[in-house]
Each structure stands twice: as C-alpha cells, then as structure tokens.
Amino acid sequence: MSTKEQQVQEMTRVIAAFIAHVAKKLPDDVEAKIKELAADEKNPLAKTIYETMKTNQDLAFELNRPSCQDTGVLQFWVKVGSNYPLLGELEEILRNATYKATQDAPLRHNCVETFDEFNTGKNIGRTAPYITWDIVPNRDDVEIFPYMAGGGCSLPGSGKTLMPGEGYEGVAKFVLDLITSYGLNACPPLLVGVGIATSIDTAAMMSKKALMRPVSSKADNEKAAYMEQLLEDGINALHIGPQGMGGDKSVMGVNIEHGSRHPSVISVAVNVGCWNHRRGHMVFDKDGKYEILSHKGVTF
Amino acid sequence: MAKHILTTPIKRSDLDGIKAGDIIYLNGHITTCRDVAHRRLVEYGRELPVDVREGAILHAGPIVRDHGDDKFEMISVGPTTSMRMEKFEYEFVKQTGVRLIVGKGGMGPETARACKEFGALHCVFPAGNAVLAATEVEEIESANWRELGMPETLWTCRVKEFGPLIVSIDANGDNYFENKKVEYNAKKEEVLEEIYKHVSFIK
C-alpha cells in the first residue's frame, strides 16, 4: 500500500470515529452554554427539562450511544488549502467515513432519495453527505466541520429576498416571526444562524456557516455584532424556554454571517441548530496529523 | 410529589384531572408511529398492523440495533416534530381509539378537537433526550411495516415509567403551546418595536 493510500485509510478511520463522537458528545462551547442556561433557569417546568437534558447527555456518554435518535443528514463544511495534497480524495473519504460511522455509532439511516422516495439504508446517497467547499489559497491543510442536521431543526430553515425599503427592520421581523412559529418545535434553546447577502442561495449558505461559528462568538463587523446582540436579547425577552414551553431565556445565541448585496435587494436566511447542536471542527495537516478543535483533548 | 403514572390500557376516566402543563409517566406499551403510518391509515385506508386502542403512540423514528431472529435493541428513541402529523391526527384518533400521543412540540386545533371529542392527550417527551427514553424501554416486543425502514417502522415497546411526559393538549382540548404562542406573539411586537430603533443601517 502506498503512503497516500495509507493516509486515506487512516483519515477515513479518524473522521468516522469523530463523527460517531460528535453524535454522542456536545462540542465544548455548546455544552458550556447549556450548563450556563440551566444554572440560571428559575421556571420549575424548564428546570425539569434542563435536568432531563443533563441526564440524557450523561447516559449517552456512559452508554456510548448517539444522544439524539435523529443523527441527521451529514453535512461537511470543508475549508481546504489550495496546496492540500488529498484534495481529489477528500470527497470519497468523507463519504466512506459517513458510511463507516453509520455502522459503528450506529447512526440512523436518514438518506431518502427524492422522487424515487426510498431510504438507501446506508445514510449516504445521490448527494449525501452534503459537502460545502471553500478553497483557501496558499495553505496545505484542511479544516473540516462535520454537522448533523436533524429534521427538527432543519424544518424552520427559511429565507426571503427583501426589498431594501424593508431594511434591517425587515430582517429582524423575519427572524423573530420564524422563531416564534417554527422555532418552537425545533428544540430550543436554539442557536440561530442568520445569513444576510444578495440572492437567496448566498444568504442561505451564510446562515449555515453562521451555525458553524462557536456559540458566544461575535460577528467581525461591529454593526453585525450589535444586531446579533439585539436579536439575542430580543428573543430572550420572549421567555420561550427549553422545548418552547416557557422559561427565563430562549436561545443559546444568534450568529450573523453577512456579505455584499445588490443595491436592489437584501436577502435574509435563517437556519437553526437545536440545543443538541452536534457540530465538530477538526484540522488535518498535509501529512495527516490532526487536531480536534471543537472537543478539546479528544483523539482517536 | 408522587409521580403520576398512566398504565395501558388507559380508560377515558384515567385522564380526569390531568391538565395541560402537568407531568406524567407511562407504564405498559407504546408504538412508534409517524408520517407514513399516518398517511397509510388516513389516506389509503389501510388498517394499522398494531392495535393501539386505549394505548399510546410515539411520534418517533428510533435507532434500533437488529440482533437477528426478531430480537431488537432500542438504542436511541427521542420524539419527532408532532406538527407534521396534525393533518392526519383527528382521523387517526377517531379510527384507532388511541389515548396517548407522545411527540415533540405542539399540535394544532384538529388534534385538540380529537383529544376533547374522543378523550386523549398529546404529551411532549423533552426532545433530543433519546438515550434516556431508550433506557426506559424494557423491550421491543414487535416490529411492523418494516419495509418502511428503520425510522418509519412501527416499533411496539414495553416501557417502564416512560417520561417525563409534559401534557401539551389535555382531554378538554386545552392547548399549552397555543396559549404560549399568544404570549410570545404579543411580546414579540413589543420587542420588535425596540429593535427597529437601533437597526436603521440604510441611511
């Protein structure tokens, strides 16, 4: 076996193990935020729900099982260096790793082929897992964000291209309308990902990337960061609580990713992550050495 | 306070005094039943392969390990979004006589009408807590309509103190989520007026 083949095999093994781990253990930032929300909660029903969540996460780790039965359709955001040597092999590595994790974890078979309407029974299919590629010039490593997008938190996903006259006021209204309707069933406290850009697809992509940013991180633009805070405080003031059943706060946070827009439009899209926000972040260098950034201290 | 436990078969009178917002637990049997099972019964007129009269259904698609020889192990079984079944639930309750519907999030006026008319509850199992729920399943006693694949198969489970189940619609048709939504929406307008003052970035 060539060195390259060995590297491919090892990388498939590591990513599969990481996917299985992500299904069972929350990333450090989400775990810390849930703990903080639970500690601050005063509402008795909400406290019971937070206690249930804690018991569940402990059991998942102890019994080595996926903490939620809906392990989603696997999505990967890949930021790959233009000089990364396994660029051509990555897609197959991610596909094979998804299949392997599905057997090992085990993950639920969530891949239904549209039109022919059958479950492949493998958790991979025509376009699953979904991979979003960003090429990073002059780098020779690769950053991978595995994400399990469950049905419940995918359902609120929504976007609209507004006229500029509706402004950022229209953006705020769009976000809040969604959170008080579909958001209630999406397993709050949610991480709310908002994308603001030009056409609807650009906004949607950014709303997804917003969910890959750590909870409690801030947008790099001062006004965007201000709007994140306004929306977070505003949604918290609704006292939606865990499961949408009432409580002191409502969300883990609001992350906004934004880009340039055509002068005639302002597109907004929202994607939400449930409280059980199973997102990973890992980096491989060109030789296959890896580091896990989302779950500190984990190795496979 | 002692746990309020319902045991299947559940009589209509067993639901007396249970109010939206209460927490209950279940002993006995519960069968997973979701999108396609509802559609088959209501739209295609197919009989459910499991009798759920005075019983319980769970809107869920679990992860199950197949040990062969019709032996299955429940690995992870949290509820799925109940609202997807709203379209079918009145007719479903009417035809099957199911007494307890467990899922995630609220349901709408048609389910509330069914709960009141036929005597049933809709409850929320706090979602995303699928391992806890799985440990409350003693055994999977049968698996029907397996051709639908793992999430949609009707898994009939024997459960012990399955819960916490938070009552979202009681047998009077009182709907916890609908009441909450009125509160959230009233407050939302106030919150938006405040946000509008600070986001006039287009000048």
Smallest CA–CA separation between A282 and chain B, in Å?
A: 24
Residue A240 in domain = yes
Find all residues with CB under 8 Å of B32, minimum gap 6, and list them: B57, B58, B59, B60, B61, B62, B77, B153, B154, B155, B157
Whether residue B130 and residue A184 make contact (CB cut-off 8 A), yes or no, is no
Give the number of other CB atoms < 10 A from CB of residue B146.
Answer: 12
Catalytic residues of B: 38
- Which of A64, A69, A275 has the most B C-beta neighbours within 10 Å, making it the best mutation to test the interface with B? A69
Please report, in angstroms and rounded to a whole number, the separation of the first and last CA atoms in chain B: 59
- Tell me, yes or no, whether A15 and A131 share the same domain: yes
Find all residues with CB under 8 Å of B166, minimum gap 6, and list them: A45, A49, A243, A245, B21, B22, B23, B123, B124, B126, B176
Whether residue B80 and residue A70 make contact (CB cut-off 8 A), yes or no, is yes
Smallest CA–CA separation between A1 and chain B, in Å?
A: 34
Q: What are phi and psi of A251, to 5 degrees?
A: -130, 160
Whether residue A173 and residue B149 make contact (CB cut-off 8 A), yes or no, is no
Residue A54 is predicted with a pLDDT of 96
Q: What is the mean pLDDT of residues A114-124?
A: 93
Residue B200 is predicted with a pLDDT of 95
- Which of B199, B202, B203 has the most A C-beta neighbours within 10 Å, making it the best mutation to test the interface with A? B199
Whether residue A276 and residue B128 make contact (CB cut-off 8 A), yes or no, is yes
Smallest CA–CA separation between B149 and chain A, in Å?
A: 7
A136 touches chain B (CB under 8 A): no
Residue B190 in domain = no
B76 CB neighbours in chain A (<8 A) are 65-69, 108
- Tell me, yes or no, whether A125 and A172 share the same domain: no
A194's enclosing H/E stretch is strand A190-197
Smallest CA–CA separation between B61 and chain A, in Å?
A: 7
pLDDT tens digits for A132-189?
999 999 999 999 999 998 998 999 999 999 999 999 999 999 999 999 999 998 999 9
Residue B78 is predicted with a pLDDT of 87
Residue B12 is predicted with a pLDDT of 97
- Which of B19, B63, B189 has the most A C-beta neighbours within 10 Å, making it the best mutation to test the interface with A? B63
Question: Which among B61, B75, B128 is the nearest to A275, CB-wise?
Answer: B128
- Tell me, yes or no, whether A18 and A8 share the same domain: yes
Residue B184 in domain = no
B23 CB neighbours in chain A (<8 A) are 45, 48
Distance of CA A165 to the CA centre of its chain: 31
Residue B39 in domain = yes
Domain with A175 in it: 152-273
Rounded to a whole number of angstroms, the CA Rg of chain A reads 19
Window 60-89 of A: residues touching B by CB (8 A cutoff) are: 60, 63, 65-71
**Angle value at C-alpha B72, between B68 and B73, nearest 5 degrees:** 130
- Which of A70, A110, A240 has the most B C-beta neighbours within 10 Å, making it the best mutation to test the interface with B? A70
- Tell me, yes or no, whether A94 and A164 share the same domain: no
Q: How many domains does chain A have?
A: 2
Whether residue B63 and residue A223 make contact (CB cut-off 8 A), yes or no, is no
Residue A38 in domain = no
CB A130 within 8 A of CB A76: yes
| Residue B1 pLDDT class (50, 70, 90 cuts) | low
Start-end of H helices in chain A: 3-24, 28-40, 44-63, 90-104, 151-154, 167-180, 200-212, 222-236
- Tell me, yes or no, whether A162 and A265 share the same domain: yes
- Which ipTM was obtained for this model? 0.91
* pTM over cut 0.90: yes
B194 CB neighbours in chain A (<8 A) are 234
Q: How far apart are CA A56 and CA B126, in angstroms?
A: 10
Joined together, the tokens standing for residue A69 give 């039965």
> What chain A residue is nearest to B197 in terms of C-alpha separation?
A169
Smallest CA–CA separation between B150 and chain A, in Å?
A: 7
Considering only CA atoms, which of A248, A251, A72 is closest in space to residue A178? A251
Residue A10 in domain = yes
- Tell me, yes or no, whether A124 and A217 share the same domain: no
Rounded to the nearest integer, the mean pLDDT of chain A is 96
- Tell me, yes or no, whether A17 and A88 share the same domain: yes
pLDDT tens digits for A58-80?
999 999 999 998 999 999 999 99
pLDDT tens digits for B151-173?
899 999 999 999 999 999 999 99
CATH number where A110 lies: 3.30.360
Domain with B137 in it: 5-176
- Tell me, yes or no, whether A229 and A133 share the same domain: no
Whether residue B188 and residue A151 make contact (CB cut-off 8 A), yes or no, is no
Whether residue A52 and residue B132 make contact (CB cut-off 8 A), yes or no, is yes
Tally helices (H) and strands (E) across chain A.
Answer: 8, 11
pLDDT tens digits for B31-84?
999 999 999 999 999 999 999 999 999 999 998 999 999 999 999 898 999 999
B202 CB neighbours in chain A (<8 A) are 164, 167-168
pLDDT tens digits for A12-29?
999 999 999 999 999 999
B87's enclosing H/E stretch is helix B86-96
Whether residue B191 and residue A237 make contact (CB cut-off 8 A), yes or no, is yes
Residue A166 in domain = yes
Residue B202 in domain = no
Whether residue B199 and residue A172 make contact (CB cut-off 8 A), yes or no, is yes
Whether residue A53 and residue B202 make contact (CB cut-off 8 A), yes or no, is no
Whether residue A109 and residue B106 make contact (CB cut-off 8 A), yes or no, is no
CATH number where B9 lies: 3.20.130.10
| Residue A1 pLDDT class (50, 70, 90 cuts) | confident
B192 CB neighbours in chain A (<8 A) are 169, 172-173, 176, 234
Find all residues with CB under 8 Å of A186, minimum gap 6, and list them: A152, A153, A155, A156, A272, A274, B81, B105
Check residue B191 and give left, alpha or beta (phi > 0: left; psi -120 to 50: alpha). Answer: alpha
Start-end of H helices in A115-199: 151-154, 167-180
Residue given tokens 């060539």 in the structure block: A2
Residue B146 in domain = yes
Residue A94 is predicted with a pLDDT of 98
- Tell me, yes or no, whether A134 and A173 share the same domain: no
Residue B150 is predicted with a pLDDT of 87
CB A159 within 8 A of CB A267: yes
Residue B117 in domain = yes
Check residue B145 and give left, alpha or beta (phi > 0: left; psi -120 to 50: alpha). Answer: left
- Tell me, yes or no, whether A20 and A135 share the same domain: yes
Residue A51 in domain = no
Residue B111 in domain = yes
Q: How many domains does chain B have?
A: 1
pLDDT tens digits for B85-95?
999 999 999 99
Residue B50 in domain = yes
- Tell me, yes or no, whether A163 and A209 share the same domain: yes
- Tell me, yes or no, whether A97 and A156 share the same domain: no
For A126, counting Cβ atoms within 10 Å of its Cβ (0-12 exposed, 13-18 middle, 19+ buried), the class is exposed
